[in-house]
Amino acid sequence: MTEEREEGALVGTLPGGVRARRTKGPESQPWITEYELTGNRVSGRVQVLPYYDEPVVERDWSRSGRPIQRKWEFLPSAFSITYGGKPSWHGDGQGSLVVNGVALDGGLVWRPGSVDTESFRVCRPNQHGGVEEAPAGARDTTRTVVRDLVELHRQNAVLVQEKAVEFARYQRSRRLAALDQEHREVSTLLRELMGRNAELVQRHALMSDDACFAAALPKGDPR
């Protein structure tokens, strides 16, 4: 994969001769990078967005309502890739990729280094307003093109960092509100645990200290 200048626009050549031209994304969403792809039986737009990779690592489903525990990132480390349509999946981007004559709908979360990115699902719209699996040929070509496009995108470390910073700014207020909520939940849990800890210390002293244990035993006739 190579990058070059063509008529003032940054252009990448993917394996197989597919051209990826970086275009101007939405002005209101400066964290989005948009690529226009052209090649043999491949055409359309793909959008790449920063994505916070913060999976739940522990969750207690008991009635006590223990707070969710998540990993946390200051800057996003993954990417949200939208290759087609106003996606029915959870991504925020838009795309218009057509592969082998098949108009696609959907996208994926790309986690660098994850094996899950090698065989992601590729969908197209169906007649019922939902999505269905794309034909095998379109699926395999799309997987190849998307993998190569992400690799080309990641080669520009400056661009990746700029977009991550823009997304961090955009998400700051929402993430701060989430942190405040989690902090309140953890503080409540901590107070409960401190009270429980005091009770356990008291019980332990009662059971382990000979004098305390003897003093606590009933004296005399229970009648």
The answer to whether position 221 is within a domain reads: no
Task: Note whether residue 133 is domain-resident.
Answer: yes
Whether residue 167 sits in one domain with residue 182: no
pLDDT at 147: 93
Q: Are residues 88 and 189 in the same domain?
A: no
Q: Whole-angstrom Cα distance, residue 22 to residue 214?
A: 81
Regarding whether 186 and 166 lie in a shared domain, the answer is no
- The reported pTM is 0.81
134 and 185 housed in the same domain: no
List beta partners, residue 96.
84
List pLDDT tens digits, range 136-148. Answer: 999 999 999 999 9
Are residues 65 and 163 located together in one domain of the fold? Answer: yes
Is 223 domain-assigned? no
Considering the domain boundaries, does residue 13 fall inside one? yes
The total number of residues shown for the chain amounts to: 223
Confidence grade of residue 117 (pLDDT, cut at 50, 70, 90): confident
Mean of per-residue pLDDT scores for the chain: 87
Confirm whether 187 is domain-assigned.
yes
Give Cα separations from 194 to 53, 120, 183, 189, 218 (angstroms): 32, 46, 16, 9, 30
Q: Could you tell me the residue range of the domain that residue 185 belongs to?
A: 178-216
94 and 187 inside one domain: no
Same domain, 115 and 202: no
142 and 32 within one domain: yes
In a domain, 222, yes or no: no
Closest CA relative to residue 47, chosen from 35, 31, 65:
35
Query: Mean per-residue pLDDT for 122-142?
Result: 91
Residue 188 or 177, more confident: 177
Residues 93 and 155 in one domain: yes
Residue type, 127: Q
Q: Report pLDDT for 25.
A: 83
Of the chain, the percentage scoring pLDDT greater than 90 comes to: 61
Give residue 203's pLDDT. Answer: 95
Query: Which two structure tokens, joined as six digits, stand for 162?
Result: 């700029």
- 157-173 pLDDT, tens digit per residue, is 999 999 999 999 999 99
In angstroms, the CA 197 to CA 24 distance is 58
Q: Which residue do the tokens 């948009």 mark? A: 34
Q: Cβ distance 136 to 124 under 8 Å?
A: no
Whether residues 126 and 188 fall in one domain: no
Reported as a single tens digit per residue, the pLDDT across 47-97 is 999 999 998 877 665 556 666 778 899 999 999 999 987 666 666 788 999
149 and 196 in a single domain? The answer is no
What is the distance, to the nearest Å, from the Cα of residue 62 to the centroid of all Cα atoms in its chain? 26
137 and 194 inside one domain: no
Q: How many domains does the chain have?
A: 2
Residue 192 falls inside a structural domain: yes
Is 8 a residue whose pLDDT tops 50? no
Tell whether 186 is covered by a domain: yes
